[in-house]
Amino acid sequence: MQMSILLMGRQYPIILIIDDSKAFREFAKYSIREDIKFVNIFQASTGVEGL
């Protein structure tokens, strides 16, 4: 699993979740959303898709 936090001049931080397991991506998104209310979360199954 790879997670990146990008701050690009936006109001809320952006988190990119990259993992080949859709179930894990959904779990990670839910877990992060429980801790951090105001965040943009994007998901990708491969690094190329994440670009």
Q: How confident is the model at residue 37 (pLDDT cuts 50, 70, 90)?
A: confident
Q: What is the pLDDT of residue 38?
A: 87
DSSP letter for each residue of 37-50 = SS-EEEEESSHHHH
Q: What is the pLDDT of residue 44?
A: 92
- Residue 6 has a CB neighbour count (10 Å cut-off) of 11
User: CA angle at residue 42 from 19 to 46, to 5 degrees?
Assistant: 30
Can you tell me the mean pLDDT for 21-30? 93
pLDDT digits 0-9 by tens, 1-18: 555 555 555 578 888 999
Enumerate the H helices of the chain as residue ranges.
22-35, 47-50
Question: How many angstroms separate the CA atoms of 31 and 49, rounded?
Answer: 22
> Higher confidence at residue 9 or residue 50?
50
